């Protein structure tokens, strides 16, 4: 009997504690502004924020938190195909030719997402152009793979892990409780 009562009390405490995680409704609550970074997913323009990275040089370069524990998310190399990890790929162009490309995104953005592969933790893959005359905007992972097959680009894995949640898209969909400032 006491165990049930204690379990009930703990459940109430946990639920009321989580209530503090909801979006603030008081306009006097402090807020910060983070830059939106564009990315492509299946031909759709999305926006993410960067908050954390590993290694330290990536955190310094991106102006985000250095998170040493992100290193723990790296799978063994070569990664066995059956090994599922929390990391998803993000394809970045180190020379800034275009926005990054991601292979998954929340659908829809927010708590109702049903896209199981999406993760805000990304393992960075660098994309470089071998054939500059073939350079054009690549807006999906399949377009990247086709360009690689044609020999136009090289995709190289890094050990850089970043926490970059997708928070909005070009159509104005965004995380509930957020505001877009264009």
Residue the block writes with tokens 């054009």: 136
Q: What is the pLDDT of residues 135-156, one digit of tens each?
A: 999 999 999 999 999 999 999 9
What's phi and psi for 72, nearest 5 deg? -65, -15
User: Residue range 30-46: average pLDDT?
Assistant: 94
Pair 50, 62: CB distance under 8 Å: yes
Summarize the confidence of residues 121-136 as an average pLDDT. Answer: 94
CB contact at 8 A, 160 and 56: no
Report the alpha-carbon distance of residue 137 to residue 42 in Å, rounded.
12
**Structure token pair of residue 77:** 């190399």
- Sorted by sequence, the CB contacts under 8 Å of residue 81 that are 6+ apart come out as none
42: enclosing H helix or E strand: none
Q: What is the pLDDT of residue 4?
A: 38
Query: What 3-state class would DSSP assign to 65?
Result: strand
DSSP E strands, 49-152: 52-54, 65-66, 88-92, 100-101, 121-129
**Torsion angle of the four alpha carbons 152, 62, 113, 25, in this order, in degrees rounded to the nearest 10:** -150
pLDDT in tens, 68-86: 999 999 998 877 778 889 9
């Amino acid at each position: 009997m006491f165990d049930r009562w204690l379990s009930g009390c703990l459940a109430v405490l946990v639920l009321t504690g989580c209530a503090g995680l909801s979006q603030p409704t008081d306009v006097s609550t402090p807020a910060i502004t983070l830059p939106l970074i564009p990315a492509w997913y299946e031909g759709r323009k999305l926006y993410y924020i960067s908050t954390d990275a590993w290694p330290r040089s990536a955190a310094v370069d991106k102006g985000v938190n250095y998170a040493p524990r992100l290193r723990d998310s790296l799978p063994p190399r070569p990664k066995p195909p059956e090994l599922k990890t929390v990391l998803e790929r993000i394809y970045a162009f180190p020379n800034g030719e275009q926005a990054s490309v991601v292979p998954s995104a929340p659908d829809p953005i927010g708590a109702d997402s049903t896209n199981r592969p999406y993760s805000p933790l990304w393992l960075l893959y660098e994309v470089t152009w071998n054939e500059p005359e073939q350079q054009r905007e690549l807006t999906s992972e399949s377009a990247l793979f086709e360009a690689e097959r044609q020999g136009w680009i090289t995709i190289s894995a890094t050990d850089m892990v970043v926490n970059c949640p997708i928070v909005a898209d070009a159509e104005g969909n965004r995380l509930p409780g957020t505001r877009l400032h264009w």
